[in-house]
Amino acid sequence: MNLIQAIILGIVQGLTEFLPISSSAHLRIVPEFMGMQDPGAAFTAIIQIGTLLAVMIYFAKDIASITGAVISGLLKGKPLGTDEARTGWMIAVGTVPIVIFGLLFKHEIETTLRSLYIVSASMIGLALVLVVAEQHTKNRNRDGRRGKSIKEIGWTDAIIIGLAQALALIPGSSRSGVTITGGLFRNLDRETAARFSFLLSLPSVFAAGMLELYDIRHDLMTSMDNIINLAAATVAAFIFGYLSIAFLLAYLKRHTTMVFIVYRLILGISLIVLISTGRLQP
């Protein structure tokens, strides 16, 4: 790819990583419309480092508080002594499923599962599950029960949301989409579900990005263009990722995820039509 194409893909990554519409799906679809080859799972994982930095900066205070509490708890022999420390350990526990499944199915994730048939099915499937989650939330609110805050998240919540995050390994599912959905089913309010989703993404995105960067280190060194393109895409992902975090948290304070559900359904169905008519190659 050239520099402009790399920047465009970085912008797509940043805009879609935190919205429940799947960045991996868009990074699989957009190159098709641009007449490019699939940039691959490795490219996606590496430029996610840009969106990782966006999360780290946006939630710098939360991260510092959680990290400090975990370290302090260990030094005092009370690892679960505070809400912040418990949140830190819950993030660690919630990360385990995606690490296990990511290593077990690494080859399939990078090859078979990137088929546009899988992407379109995932887009539609999660949209339907998200409809059920929104109805669950609506029923809870109608009964006068408020959603959980981040300090009220329990171990069962963290494990279930972590298992949901593992589904994000399937292109088209969306990391934020599956974790927010899991959070809604566990009675988190929408903003808390999104906030915990972003914090939960930190360890796995960092690990995946570093692993892929290590795996392709020799290929990178063969061309300065490769390094420049990846760097430009990562910077673009960082800038637009930061903006999308701010947008989504503000949006979910007053709105449901219905607009994203409709978008997923339209895009998923459109993909099936384009594939069946030969306009796109699966």
Q: What pLDDT score was predicted for residue 144?
A: 85
pLDDT in tens, 244-262: 999 999 999 889 999 999 9
Q: What is the mean pLDDT of the chain?
A: 89
**Which of 37-46, 111-120, 149-158 tops mean pLDDT?**
149-158
Q: What pLDDT score was predicted for residue 157?
A: 95
160/116 Cα distance (integer angstroms): 27
Asked if residue 1 has pLDDT above 80, the reply is no
Helix 23-33 and helix 258-276: axis angle, to 10°? 40
Q: What pLDDT score was predicted for residue 150?
A: 87
pLDDT tier, 41 (very low <50, low <70, confident <90, very high otherwise): low
Q: What pLDDT score was predicted for residue 161?
A: 96
Percent of the chain exceeding pLDDT 70 equals: 97
Number of neighbours of residue 101 by Cβ within 10 angstroms? 18
24/33 Cα distance (integer angstroms): 15
Q: What pLDDT score was predicted for residue 37?
A: 77
